[in-house]
Structure 1
């Protein structure tokens, strides 16, 4: 592979990663748990937040994201993102609401991607005190 081919391949992966992060934010607002799980590789891991049990099956991912997608209200807003190599780091705000209660959290997610542009691991940086009742 030439330097130009290597740079083009890296740019292509960066474009795919950027598109997946944007889709992830959109799906947190508008999608289903299954659609979010589709962004992940079949052997992906999710540690959200860091320090909790790692989820590593599609069923666990769908169950995890169903907590968000089953809310009466949910809005995710991307604050910033950085992509380098096979990794994206981004901060977003998620506002959820159900049963007359509303919550806001602003995590920083670290996603590593495989060569197909699927998320192979996601680790979320936040702690319980970051979850604020509105």
Structure 2
């Protein structure tokens, strides 16, 4: 039986929170074994837990704020828009990617694709 929409929403909300306030290990814990990550779409697809952990490890120690803007959930999948601001020195990098995720029966993420482009979707203030 597929994970409920409520369970998927909980995982999406946890994901957004952990990307901003958690550790890479906490983010990776939301992924199922064998999951894939393509961030941004068009980049190499990460296919091992080690690759995914290394990817999210880049967030450790950064000063970030995240917020979920909008989410659509159905059929064991979610598409959502969230905002992420990262402070580096006296600059703040802000973007709002659209992530599309699929989930297993337990509500763990089996695939994630992030739709954004650094040239057009990121602002620096």
Give 1:3's aligned residue: none
Q: Does 1:133 align with 2:119?
A: no
Give 2:114's aligned residue: 124
Question: Match for 2:29 among 31, 38, 42?
Answer: 38
Question: Match for 2:76 among 86, 90, 97?
Answer: 86
The structure richer in helix per residue is 1
Q: Report the TM-score, using the length of structure 2 for normalisation.
A: 0.93
Q: How many residues align?
A: 124
Q: Which has the higher contact order (CA 8 A, sep 6+)?
A: 2
Paired residues for 1:55-66 under 5 Å: 55-66=46-57
User: Tell me, which stretches of 5 or more residues in structure 2 are unaligned?
Assistant: none
CA RMSD of aligned residues (A): 1.3
User: Tell me, which stretches of 5 or more residues in structure 1 are unaligned?
Assistant: 1-8
- 1:120 is displaced (CA, Å) by 0.3
Question: Match for 1:22 among 9, 13, 29?
Answer: 13
Give 1:4's aligned residue: none
Larger Cα-atom Rg: 1
Q: 1:28–1:69: 8 Å Cα contact kept in structure 2?
A: no
- 1:97 is displaced (CA, Å) by 1.2
